[in-house]
Structure 1
Amino acid sequence: MRGLDEVNLYKFGYVLVKGIFRTTYRVEVIGSENVPKDKGVLLCSNHISNFDPPMLGISFPRDVHYMAKEELFKLPVMKQVLLSLNAFPVRRGMSDKQALRQGLKLLKDGEVLGLFPEGTRSKTGELGEGMSGAGFFALRSNAEVVPAAIIGSYRPFSKVKVIIGEPIEMTKLREEKATAKDATEIIMSAIAKLIEKYK
Protein backbone atom coordinates (compact mmCIF):
# COMPACT_ATOMS: atom_id res chain seq x y z
CA MET A 1 0.00 0.00 0.00
CA ARG A 2 1.49 3.32 -1.06
CA GLY A 3 1.48 6.28 1.29
CA LEU A 4 -0.26 9.55 0.49
CA ASP A 5 2.94 11.27 -0.64
CA GLU A 6 3.75 8.37 -2.98
CA VAL A 7 0.26 8.45 -4.47
CA ASN A 8 0.54 12.19 -5.04
CA LEU A 9 3.99 11.79 -6.63
CA TYR A 10 2.68 9.07 -8.93
CA LYS A 11 -0.25 11.26 -10.00
CA PHE A 12 2.05 14.24 -10.47
CA GLY A 13 4.47 12.20 -12.58
CA TYR A 14 1.62 10.74 -14.61
CA VAL A 15 0.14 14.15 -15.41
CA LEU A 16 3.55 15.66 -16.16
CA VAL A 17 4.71 12.87 -18.47
CA LYS A 18 1.34 12.69 -20.20
CA GLY A 19 1.45 16.41 -20.90
CA ILE A 20 4.99 16.24 -22.28
CA PHE A 21 4.35 13.19 -24.44
CA ARG A 22 1.01 14.41 -25.76
CA THR A 23 2.70 17.67 -26.75
CA THR A 24 5.82 16.09 -28.25
CA TYR A 25 4.18 13.16 -30.07
CA ARG A 26 0.88 12.44 -31.75
CA VAL A 27 -0.10 9.61 -29.42
CA GLU A 28 -2.82 7.23 -30.58
CA VAL A 29 -4.08 4.56 -28.19
CA ILE A 30 -6.02 1.64 -29.63
CA GLY A 31 -7.73 -1.11 -27.65
CA SER A 32 -8.22 0.39 -24.19
CA GLU A 33 -11.51 -1.49 -24.02
CA ASN A 34 -9.53 -4.76 -23.88
CA VAL A 35 -8.17 -4.03 -20.41
CA PRO A 36 -9.72 -6.08 -17.56
CA LYS A 37 -10.86 -3.62 -14.92
CA ASP A 38 -10.65 -5.62 -11.70
CA LYS A 39 -8.17 -8.46 -12.23
CA GLY A 40 -4.43 -8.88 -12.10
CA VAL A 41 -2.92 -8.10 -15.51
CA LEU A 42 0.41 -9.12 -16.99
CA LEU A 43 1.04 -6.45 -19.63
CA CYS A 44 3.62 -7.54 -22.21
CA SER A 45 4.95 -5.17 -24.87
CA ASN A 46 7.71 -4.86 -27.44
CA HIS A 47 10.60 -2.58 -26.49
CA ILE A 48 11.94 0.00 -28.95
CA SER A 49 12.96 2.95 -26.75
CA ASN A 50 13.78 4.08 -23.22
CA PHE A 51 10.55 6.06 -23.52
CA ASP A 52 8.46 2.87 -23.71
CA PRO A 53 7.73 2.47 -19.97
CA PRO A 54 6.31 5.99 -19.50
CA MET A 55 4.54 5.84 -22.87
CA LEU A 56 2.88 2.57 -21.93
CA GLY A 57 2.12 3.94 -18.47
CA ILE A 58 0.24 7.01 -19.72
CA SER A 59 -1.59 4.98 -22.38
CA PHE A 60 -2.83 2.18 -20.13
CA PRO A 61 -6.04 2.94 -18.19
CA ARG A 62 -4.69 1.39 -14.97
CA ASP A 63 -1.55 2.00 -12.89
CA VAL A 64 1.35 -0.11 -14.16
CA HIS A 65 4.15 -1.54 -12.02
CA TYR A 66 7.58 -2.19 -13.57
CA MET A 67 10.79 -3.91 -12.70
CA ALA A 68 13.84 -1.63 -12.96
CA LYS A 69 17.50 -2.61 -12.84
CA GLU A 70 18.90 -2.75 -9.34
CA GLU A 71 21.67 -0.21 -10.03
CA LEU A 72 19.13 2.62 -10.29
CA PHE A 73 18.05 2.06 -6.68
CA LYS A 74 21.51 2.69 -5.24
CA LEU A 75 21.02 6.47 -5.36
CA PRO A 76 18.75 7.44 -2.43
CA VAL A 77 16.80 10.14 -4.28
CA MET A 78 16.37 8.00 -7.40
CA LYS A 79 15.33 5.05 -5.25
CA GLN A 80 12.52 7.02 -3.61
CA VAL A 81 11.30 8.37 -6.94
CA LEU A 82 11.29 4.91 -8.54
CA LEU A 83 9.46 3.33 -5.61
CA SER A 84 6.87 6.10 -5.71
CA LEU A 85 6.36 5.50 -9.42
CA ASN A 86 5.54 1.80 -8.95
CA ALA A 87 8.98 0.45 -9.88
CA PHE A 88 10.84 -2.23 -7.92
CA PRO A 89 14.40 -3.51 -8.29
CA VAL A 90 15.50 -6.60 -10.18
CA ARG A 91 19.00 -8.01 -10.68
CA ARG A 92 19.54 -8.42 -14.40
CA GLY A 93 21.27 -11.43 -15.88
CA MET A 94 20.37 -13.77 -13.02
CA SER A 95 17.35 -15.29 -11.34
CA ASP A 96 16.13 -12.76 -8.78
CA LYS A 97 13.74 -14.73 -6.56
CA GLN A 98 12.73 -11.68 -4.53
CA ALA A 99 11.72 -9.75 -7.65
CA LEU A 100 9.85 -12.79 -8.98
CA ARG A 101 7.93 -13.12 -5.72
CA GLN A 102 7.11 -9.42 -5.71
CA GLY A 103 5.85 -9.61 -9.29
CA LEU A 104 3.65 -12.61 -8.48
CA LYS A 105 2.27 -10.85 -5.40
CA LEU A 106 1.32 -7.80 -7.44
CA LEU A 107 -0.58 -10.01 -9.88
CA LYS A 108 -2.27 -11.93 -7.06
CA ASP A 109 -3.33 -8.63 -5.49
CA GLY A 110 -5.04 -7.59 -8.73
CA GLU A 111 -2.41 -5.09 -9.89
CA VAL A 112 -0.86 -4.57 -13.33
CA LEU A 113 2.70 -5.79 -13.93
CA GLY A 114 4.32 -4.39 -17.08
CA LEU A 115 7.02 -6.43 -18.79
CA PHE A 116 9.13 -6.13 -21.91
CA PRO A 117 9.75 -9.83 -22.66
CA GLU A 118 12.72 -9.09 -24.96
CA GLY A 119 14.59 -7.94 -21.87
CA THR A 120 16.30 -5.06 -23.66
CA ARG A 121 15.59 -2.46 -26.32
CA SER A 122 15.59 -3.62 -29.93
CA LYS A 123 18.41 -1.86 -31.79
CA THR A 124 16.73 -2.45 -35.15
CA GLY A 125 13.15 -1.76 -34.13
CA GLU A 126 12.26 -5.34 -35.07
CA LEU A 127 10.67 -7.63 -32.51
CA GLY A 128 13.30 -9.87 -30.92
CA GLU A 129 13.13 -13.15 -29.05
CA GLY A 130 11.27 -13.14 -25.76
CA MET A 131 12.82 -14.30 -22.50
CA SER A 132 11.16 -16.91 -20.31
CA GLY A 133 10.28 -14.44 -17.53
CA ALA A 134 7.04 -13.44 -19.23
CA GLY A 135 6.00 -17.07 -19.53
CA PHE A 136 6.90 -17.67 -15.89
CA PHE A 137 4.57 -14.93 -14.65
CA ALA A 138 1.84 -15.98 -17.10
CA LEU A 139 1.87 -19.60 -15.93
CA ARG A 140 2.49 -19.08 -12.22
CA SER A 141 -0.34 -16.58 -11.77
CA ASN A 142 -4.00 -16.38 -12.68
CA ALA A 143 -3.54 -12.94 -14.18
CA GLU A 144 -4.97 -11.90 -17.51
CA VAL A 145 -2.11 -11.74 -20.04
CA VAL A 146 -2.52 -8.65 -22.23
CA PRO A 147 -0.23 -8.13 -25.25
CA ALA A 148 0.65 -4.60 -26.37
CA ALA A 149 2.61 -3.03 -29.19
CA ILE A 150 4.32 0.35 -29.42
CA ILE A 151 4.78 1.52 -32.99
CA GLY A 152 6.62 4.72 -33.95
CA SER A 153 10.00 6.40 -34.11
CA TYR A 154 9.66 8.81 -31.17
CA ARG A 155 10.75 11.62 -33.45
CA PRO A 156 9.27 14.94 -32.25
CA PHE A 157 5.72 15.47 -33.53
CA SER A 158 5.60 12.04 -35.15
CA LYS A 159 2.80 9.56 -34.46
CA VAL A 160 3.34 6.91 -31.81
CA LYS A 161 0.72 4.18 -31.64
CA VAL A 162 0.08 2.14 -28.52
CA ILE A 163 -2.03 -0.91 -29.27
CA ILE A 164 -3.54 -2.94 -26.46
CA GLY A 165 -4.62 -6.38 -27.58
CA GLU A 166 -7.24 -8.76 -26.24
CA PRO A 167 -6.18 -10.97 -23.32
CA ILE A 168 -4.46 -14.21 -24.33
CA GLU A 169 -6.18 -17.42 -23.27
CA MET A 170 -3.74 -19.18 -20.95
CA THR A 171 -6.01 -21.73 -19.24
CA LYS A 172 -5.02 -24.68 -21.44
CA LEU A 173 -1.30 -23.92 -21.12
CA ARG A 174 -1.62 -23.75 -17.33
CA GLU A 175 -3.56 -27.02 -17.18
CA GLU A 176 -1.03 -28.76 -19.44
CA LYS A 177 1.86 -27.39 -17.35
CA ALA A 178 3.49 -25.86 -20.42
CA THR A 179 7.02 -24.52 -20.15
CA ALA A 180 7.73 -20.85 -19.57
CA LYS A 181 9.44 -20.78 -22.97
CA ASP A 182 6.31 -22.08 -24.72
CA ALA A 183 4.14 -19.50 -22.97
CA THR A 184 6.54 -16.70 -23.86
CA GLU A 185 6.48 -17.74 -27.53
CA ILE A 186 2.69 -17.45 -27.56
CA ILE A 187 2.88 -14.02 -25.95
CA MET A 188 5.50 -12.85 -28.47
CA SER A 189 3.36 -14.17 -31.33
CA ALA A 190 0.43 -12.08 -30.10
CA ILE A 191 2.64 -8.98 -29.92
CA ALA A 192 3.97 -9.66 -33.44
CA LYS A 193 0.41 -9.89 -34.79
CA LEU A 194 -0.45 -6.49 -33.29
CA ILE A 195 2.65 -4.93 -34.86
CA GLU A 196 1.87 -6.45 -38.24
CA LYS A 197 -1.76 -5.33 -38.15
CA TYR A 198 -1.17 -1.73 -37.10
CA LYS A 199 2.25 -0.79 -38.46
Structure 2
Amino acid sequence: MSFYSRSKRRFAWLIRALFRVKLIGAENEPEDGTFLICANHISEADPLILGACLKHNPRYMAKKELMKVPVIGKLITALGAYPIDRGGNDVAAIRKTVDFLKNGESVIMFPQGTRCRGVDPAETRFRNGCALIAARAGVPVLPIYIGTKNFRVRLFRRVTVKVGKPISCDEITGAETGREDFASGASLVFSRIIAAGKDE
Protein backbone atom coordinates (compact mmCIF):
# COMPACT_ATOMS: atom_id res chain seq x y z
CA MET A 1 0.00 0.00 0.00
CA SER A 2 1.42 3.42 -1.00
CA PHE A 3 2.04 6.33 1.36
CA TYR A 4 -0.89 8.07 -0.33
CA SER A 5 -3.23 5.14 0.32
CA ARG A 6 -2.11 4.75 3.92
CA SER A 7 -2.46 8.47 4.60
CA LYS A 8 -5.89 8.59 3.02
CA ARG A 9 -7.09 5.65 5.08
CA ARG A 10 -5.89 7.35 8.26
CA PHE A 11 -6.82 10.96 7.63
CA ALA A 12 -9.77 11.11 5.19
CA TRP A 13 -12.21 11.01 8.10
CA LEU A 14 -10.37 13.89 9.77
CA ILE A 15 -10.47 16.09 6.68
CA ARG A 16 -14.16 15.40 6.24
CA ALA A 17 -14.76 16.25 9.89
CA LEU A 18 -12.71 19.47 9.84
CA PHE A 19 -14.65 20.78 6.86
CA ARG A 20 -17.97 19.13 7.81
CA VAL A 21 -18.10 17.61 4.34
CA LYS A 22 -21.45 16.55 2.94
CA LEU A 23 -20.97 14.24 -0.04
CA ILE A 24 -23.76 13.94 -2.58
CA GLY A 25 -23.72 11.73 -5.67
CA ALA A 26 -20.93 9.37 -4.59
CA GLU A 27 -22.62 6.67 -6.65
CA ASN A 28 -21.67 8.61 -9.80
CA GLU A 29 -17.96 7.92 -9.31
CA PRO A 30 -17.04 4.95 -11.53
CA GLU A 31 -15.88 1.88 -9.63
CA ASP A 32 -13.31 1.01 -12.28
CA GLY A 33 -11.38 2.71 -15.02
CA THR A 34 -9.55 6.00 -15.33
CA PHE A 35 -11.12 9.44 -15.53
CA LEU A 36 -10.30 13.13 -15.34
CA ILE A 37 -11.89 14.78 -12.31
CA CYS A 38 -12.87 18.39 -12.99
CA ALA A 39 -14.12 20.67 -10.21
CA ASN A 40 -14.56 24.33 -9.44
CA HIS A 41 -11.77 25.78 -7.28
CA ILE A 42 -12.55 27.86 -4.17
CA SER A 43 -9.75 27.06 -1.73
CA GLU A 44 -6.31 25.57 -1.17
CA ALA A 45 -8.02 22.67 0.61
CA ASP A 46 -9.98 21.55 -2.47
CA PRO A 47 -7.58 18.72 -3.48
CA LEU A 48 -7.54 17.37 0.07
CA ILE A 49 -11.33 17.54 0.34
CA LEU A 50 -11.82 15.80 -3.00
CA GLY A 51 -9.22 13.16 -2.18
CA ALA A 52 -11.02 12.45 1.10
CA CYS A 53 -14.35 12.02 -0.72
CA LEU A 54 -13.32 9.88 -3.69
CA LYS A 55 -12.86 6.12 -3.69
CA HIS A 56 -9.89 6.42 -6.05
CA ASN A 57 -6.52 7.96 -5.17
CA PRO A 58 -6.23 10.70 -7.79
CA ARG A 59 -3.20 12.78 -8.60
CA TYR A 60 -3.60 16.54 -8.82
CA MET A 61 -1.87 19.59 -10.20
CA ALA A 62 -0.21 22.05 -7.81
CA LYS A 63 1.49 25.34 -8.57
CA LYS A 64 5.21 24.79 -8.97
CA GLU A 65 6.07 27.26 -6.20
CA LEU A 66 4.59 24.88 -3.61
CA MET A 67 7.02 22.17 -4.64
CA LYS A 68 9.92 24.33 -3.45
CA VAL A 69 8.54 24.82 0.06
CA PRO A 70 10.48 22.68 2.58
CA VAL A 71 8.54 19.67 3.86
CA ILE A 72 5.32 20.80 2.14
CA GLY A 73 6.71 20.09 -1.31
CA LYS A 74 7.75 16.54 -0.45
CA LEU A 75 4.51 15.87 1.42
CA ILE A 76 2.14 16.93 -1.34
CA THR A 77 4.24 15.08 -3.90
CA ALA A 78 3.83 11.91 -1.83
CA LEU A 79 0.09 12.63 -1.78
CA GLY A 80 -0.15 12.70 -5.57
CA ALA A 81 0.67 16.31 -6.48
CA TYR A 82 2.81 17.31 -9.46
CA PRO A 83 3.88 20.81 -10.57
CA ILE A 84 2.24 23.10 -13.08
CA ASP A 85 3.21 26.59 -14.20
CA ARG A 86 0.06 28.69 -13.90
CA GLY A 87 1.69 31.56 -15.77
CA GLY A 88 1.00 30.13 -19.17
CA ASN A 89 0.42 27.02 -21.25
CA ASP A 90 2.46 24.40 -19.42
CA VAL A 91 2.94 21.84 -22.17
CA ALA A 92 5.04 19.57 -19.95
CA ALA A 93 2.31 19.43 -17.29
CA ILE A 94 -0.33 18.67 -19.91
CA ARG A 95 1.77 15.84 -21.30
CA LYS A 96 2.41 14.49 -17.82
CA THR A 97 -1.32 14.59 -17.05
CA VAL A 98 -2.13 12.70 -20.23
CA ASP A 99 0.56 10.13 -19.39
CA PHE A 100 -0.86 9.60 -15.90
CA LEU A 101 -4.33 9.05 -17.33
CA LYS A 102 -3.09 6.67 -20.02
CA ASN A 103 -1.27 4.71 -17.33
CA GLY A 104 -4.47 4.22 -15.36
CA GLU A 105 -4.19 7.01 -12.79
CA SER A 106 -7.10 9.42 -12.37
CA VAL A 107 -6.25 13.11 -12.06
CA ILE A 108 -7.93 16.13 -10.45
CA MET A 109 -7.83 19.42 -12.30
CA PHE A 110 -9.57 22.76 -11.90
CA PRO A 111 -10.70 24.24 -15.25
CA GLN A 112 -10.74 27.77 -13.81
CA GLY A 113 -6.96 27.56 -13.56
CA THR A 114 -6.81 29.38 -10.24
CA ARG A 115 -8.69 29.72 -6.96
CA CYS A 116 -11.83 31.86 -7.15
CA ARG A 117 -12.47 32.42 -3.46
CA GLY A 118 -15.68 34.22 -2.56
CA VAL A 119 -17.05 34.15 -6.11
CA ASP A 120 -19.96 32.15 -7.51
CA PRO A 121 -18.32 29.63 -9.90
CA ALA A 122 -21.02 30.33 -12.48
CA GLU A 123 -19.62 33.86 -12.80
CA THR A 124 -16.01 32.83 -13.37
CA ARG A 125 -13.98 32.06 -16.48
CA PHE A 126 -12.50 28.69 -17.35
CA ARG A 127 -9.81 27.32 -19.63
CA ASN A 128 -10.00 24.74 -22.41
CA GLY A 129 -7.30 22.40 -21.09
CA CYS A 130 -9.69 19.88 -19.57
CA ALA A 131 -11.20 19.06 -22.97
CA LEU A 132 -7.77 18.85 -24.60
CA ILE A 133 -6.47 16.48 -21.90
CA ALA A 134 -9.58 14.28 -21.97
CA ALA A 135 -9.29 14.02 -25.75
CA ARG A 136 -5.58 13.20 -25.78
CA ALA A 137 -5.97 10.58 -23.03
CA GLY A 138 -9.27 9.21 -24.32
CA VAL A 139 -10.92 9.28 -20.89
CA PRO A 140 -14.27 10.50 -19.51
CA VAL A 141 -14.61 13.48 -17.19
CA LEU A 142 -16.18 13.31 -13.74
CA PRO A 143 -17.65 16.77 -12.95
CA ILE A 144 -17.69 17.79 -9.28
CA TYR A 145 -19.07 20.90 -7.62
CA ILE A 146 -17.59 22.21 -4.37
CA GLY A 147 -19.79 24.63 -2.45
CA THR A 148 -19.87 26.40 0.89
CA LYS A 149 -21.28 29.59 2.41
CA ASN A 150 -20.15 32.62 0.39
CA PHE A 151 -17.76 30.27 -1.45
CA ARG A 152 -15.18 30.73 1.32
CA VAL A 153 -13.90 27.51 2.87
CA ARG A 154 -13.18 27.65 6.59
CA LEU A 155 -12.62 25.04 9.24
CA PHE A 156 -15.89 23.64 10.60
CA ARG A 157 -17.97 25.46 7.98
CA ARG A 158 -20.05 23.01 5.96
CA VAL A 159 -18.57 22.10 2.57
CA THR A 160 -20.83 20.31 0.12
CA VAL A 161 -19.28 18.12 -2.56
CA LYS A 162 -21.65 17.12 -5.35
CA VAL A 163 -20.50 14.50 -7.85
CA GLY A 164 -22.13 14.69 -11.26
CA LYS A 165 -22.51 11.92 -13.82
CA PRO A 166 -19.47 11.13 -15.98
CA ILE A 167 -19.20 12.81 -19.37
CA SER A 168 -17.92 10.58 -22.15
CA CYS A 169 -14.82 11.55 -24.08
CA ASP A 170 -16.79 11.48 -27.33
CA GLU A 171 -19.31 13.96 -25.96
CA ILE A 172 -16.55 16.29 -24.79
CA THR A 173 -14.49 16.24 -27.98
CA GLY A 174 -17.38 16.33 -30.41
CA ALA A 175 -16.42 12.98 -31.91
CA GLU A 176 -20.11 12.21 -32.26
CA THR A 177 -20.29 14.99 -34.83
CA GLY A 178 -16.94 14.11 -36.36
CA ARG A 179 -14.93 17.09 -35.08
CA GLU A 180 -12.93 18.18 -32.07
CA ASP A 181 -13.92 21.47 -30.48
CA PHE A 182 -12.03 21.96 -27.24
CA ALA A 183 -13.68 25.28 -26.42
CA SER A 184 -17.13 23.74 -26.67
CA GLY A 185 -15.96 20.65 -24.81
CA ALA A 186 -14.57 22.71 -21.94
CA SER A 187 -17.78 24.74 -21.85
CA LEU A 188 -19.76 21.51 -21.59
CA VAL A 189 -17.59 20.27 -18.72
CA PHE A 190 -17.89 23.51 -16.79
CA SER A 191 -21.64 23.69 -17.36
CA ARG A 192 -21.98 20.18 -15.91
CA ILE A 193 -19.94 21.24 -12.86
CA ILE A 194 -22.31 24.15 -12.29
CA ALA A 195 -25.34 21.93 -12.95
CA ALA A 196 -24.11 19.42 -10.36
CA GLY A 197 -24.17 22.23 -7.82
CA LYS A 198 -27.79 23.00 -8.61
CA ASP A 199 -28.98 19.41 -8.50
CA GLU A 200 -30.39 18.26 -5.19
TM-score by length of 1: 0.87
Partner-residue secondary structure (3-state), 1:28: strand
Tell me whether 1:74 sits opposite 2:64 in the alignment. no
Tell me whether 1:111 sits opposite 2:110 in the alignment. no
Match of 1:138 in 2: 134
String of CA shifts for 1:104-136, please: whole Å, max 9, x gaps.
011111211101101111133311121111111
Tell me whether 1:159 sits opposite 2:158 in the alignment. yes
Q: Which is further off, 75-84 or 135-144?
A: 75-84
Identity of aligned residues (%): 32
Mapped partners of 2:34, 2:133: distance in 1: 11
String of CA shifts for 1:53-96, please: whole Å, max 9, x gaps.
10011001100101111112224533322221111111112222
Segments of structure 2 that go 5 or more residues without pairing to the other structure are none
Match of 2:32 in 1: 38
Are the structure 2 counterparts of residues 155 and 92 from structure 1 closer, same or farther at C-alpha, using a change threshold of 3 Å? closer
Preserved contact between residue 139 and residue 168 of structure 2 (Cα < 8 Å): no
Q: Shift of the alpha carbon at 1:16?
A: 5.2
Q: Shift of the alpha carbon at 1:20?
A: 3.0
TM-score by length of 2: 0.86
Aligned length: 192
Partner-residue secondary structure (3-state), 1:44: strand
Preserved contact between residue 5 and residue 57 of structure 2 (Cα < 8 Å): no
Q: Which is further off, 146-155 or 103-112?
A: 146-155
Segments of structure 1 that go 5 or more residues without pairing to the other structure are none
Mapped partners of 1:129, 1:29: distance in 2: 25
Preserved contact between residue 38 and residue 110 of structure 1 (Cα < 8 Å): no
Alignment of 1:184-199 (within 5 A): 184-198=186-200
Runs of 4+ in 1 over 6 A off after TM superposition: none
